[in-house]
Amino acid sequence: MCPFLPNLGSSLCHHVFQPYLDAMTVHFPFQNSYSALPDSFFARVAPTPVAAPRLIKLNRPLAVQLGLDPDVLETPEGAEILAGKTVPAGADPIAMAYAGHQFGQFVPQLGDGRAVLLGEVIDKDGIRRDIQLKGSGPTPFSRRGDGRAALGPVLREYIVSEAMFALGIPTTRSLAAVVTGEHVIRETALPGAVLTRVASSHIRVGTFQFFAVRRDTDAIRRLADHVIARHYPELLGNERPYHALLAGVVTRQANLIARWLLVGFIHGVMNTDNSSISGETIDYGPCAFMDAYNPAQVFSSIDEMGRYAYANQPRIALWNLTRLAECLLPLFSEDQEKAVAEAQDILGAFPETFSKAYQAGLRRKVGLFTEHDGDEALIQDLLDAMAKNQADFTLTFRKLGDAAGDETGVADVRAQFMDPAAFDEWAKRWRERTALESQTAAERRTAMHAVNPAFIPRNHRVEAVIQAAVNNDDYAPFEELVKVLAKPFEDQPEYAAYADPPLPSQRVLQTFCGT
Ligand code: AMP
Ligand code: MG
């Protein structure tokens, strides 16, 4: 019977009324591929319903990019989906299986313990994107965890992932944050929340390790084929596709880490399960941007040995890639020795690929358009002086762009150095070097400002935003910070204070996973 017009036949009823219903309901154009892989790749599990979902933030431009209707997502029904209270049509919710090295220790089974992949959509650019709920309740991979996330870490991931995106750095993104109306118990009871995470996939080095430790070569091949089709389609038909896949991941990771270093980003937990095969930054936990330049900087409270310190990140990425290579050996050759030699050869490209990307990025940061002998040493001398003088990483480069334009900018750069004379000495050499190039001062300033952000998610700002939200249910600071960070390369004079480093009393020395 037709619920709207009892006399109408059911097929006609559907025909007449369905379009109206569709317009009001949340429609995700899912096209799932990972859940079509063998059962050993995941566990089917729905999100666990929560008490009283409330939408905190919807990323409207991202929703549009994904082919979703932001207005409908902002309705109470939309919030229920984003909180995992209802599962939208076409979803095929799963928790993905993976293993991983955590701080160097191998754990054969980790998996999505507090996340559920709803499904995949093809975005406006034709790119397949995972839509995942993080904090959506227990799964078969939860071990002793509650499957939930606290509001603080959800806001942190939202802020920092979207800031990375605005900085042009490959990253997972944040579609939404909701509070669940329930508490999660950590050291204290905290408001629970769910983040909707969008990624080009959630396949990690640890996903390969999950099958490698089980000696399931067929699954490794299946996974590798899936990854090639999805992330490295240019390799389809390659005569050595698995070698080329490793080389492709090496290239993307080397470039990614260079991008991190160039903005002062410290991931904090570069475990192999947090190392993405697509080359996106993934899993924002105790991550942070440094204020004063310090290559040994660590923020994460659990990184006691400094394994994941700022300047260690390239080395660690290569270590993680070596673990990936080990998983792929059976696909390389039946001759183990030959396979190892081939893998070593491919991994051997990492240092140079990284260094090229990093050095090119540094040259842009100091406004060099051409390459000369001695550039590397010149830039290293600046970095050394910055480290010695606790110069703010972001502001030094930003203000150096102003100094390129006119002499008045120089005072602002000098002010970053404990001993400003350390800058003067260097600046003299820099001016001699830039004088060899034909670009005008204005051109140099513009080019430098396009790569040196004014605004990064400074730790003390992120913490203040979280405190306001958690303690006072006040999201205005969060909204404002997200707004400022969306345009990191614009001066935004009305928000100039957001560019400031913390006062000594505001400094945040440690960050926490908060899981
Ligand atoms: P992460 O530190 O977020 O990379 O997580 C490492 C592992 O711990 C992953 O397998 C997560 O799914 C799992 N995990 C983290 N937090 C929780 C939680 N609250 N409940 C269940 N599993 C969790
Ligand atoms: Mg993780």
Ligand 1, atom 21: closest residue by C-alpha: 145
Type and span of the H or E element at 355: helix 350-365
Ligand 1, atom 11: closest residue by C-alpha: 113
Ligand nearest to the CA of 273: 2
How far apart are alpha carbons 80 and 74 in whole angstroms?
Answer: 10
Going by the DSSP 8-state scheme, the letter that residue 96 receives in this structure is: E
pLDDT at 348: 98
How far apart are alpha carbons 444 and 437 in whole angstroms?
Answer: 10
The dihedral built from the CA positions of residue 379, 385, 388 and 389, taken in this order, carries a sign that is negative
Ligand nearest to the CA of 145: 1
CA 124, 94, 38: angle at the middle one, nearest 5?
Answer: 100
Confirm whether 218 is a catalytic residue. no
pLDDT at 21: 56
Neighbours of 169 (CB within 10 A): 18
Ligand 1, atom 12: closest residue by C-alpha: 113
In this structure, the residues whose C-beta lies within 6 A of any atom of ligand 1 are 110-114, 141-142, 145-148, 269, 273-274, 283, 285, 513, 515
pLDDT at 24: 60
Neighbours of 188 (CB within 10 A): 8
Q: Which of 114, 151, 195 to mutate to test the pocket of ligand 1 (most atoms within 8 A of CB)?
A: 114
Type and span of the H or E element at 404: helix 393-405
DSSP-based three-state secondary structure for 385: helix
pLDDT at 257: 99
pLDDT at 376: 98
Ligand 1, atom 14: closest residue by C-alpha: 113
Ligand 1 atom with the smallest distance to the CA of 135 is 19
Helix, strand, coil: what percent of the chain each, to 5? 50, 15, 40
pLDDT at 511: 86
The DSSP result for 410-438, as a single string, is HHHHHTTSSSHHHHHHHHHHHHHHHTTS-
Query: Which residue in this structure is represented by tokens 């991202």?
Result: 62
pLDDT at 490: 98
pLDDT at 515: 57
Neighbours of 78 (CB within 10 A): 25
Cβ(50)–Cβ(84) below 8 Å: yes
pLDDT at 470: 97
Neighbours of 515 (CB within 10 A): 17
Give the gyration radius of the chain's Cα atoms: 25
Cβ(244)–Cβ(238) below 8 Å: yes
Which residue is catalytic, options 130, 273, 303, 402?
Answer: 273
Model-wide pTM > 0.75: yes
Q: Cα of 514 to ligand 1 centre, how many Å?
A: 10
Type and span of the H or E element at 342: helix 336-347
In angstroms, the Cα distances linking 229 to 249, 326, 339, 466 are 14, 21, 23, 39
pLDDT at 409: 86
pLDDT < 50: residue spans in the chain: none
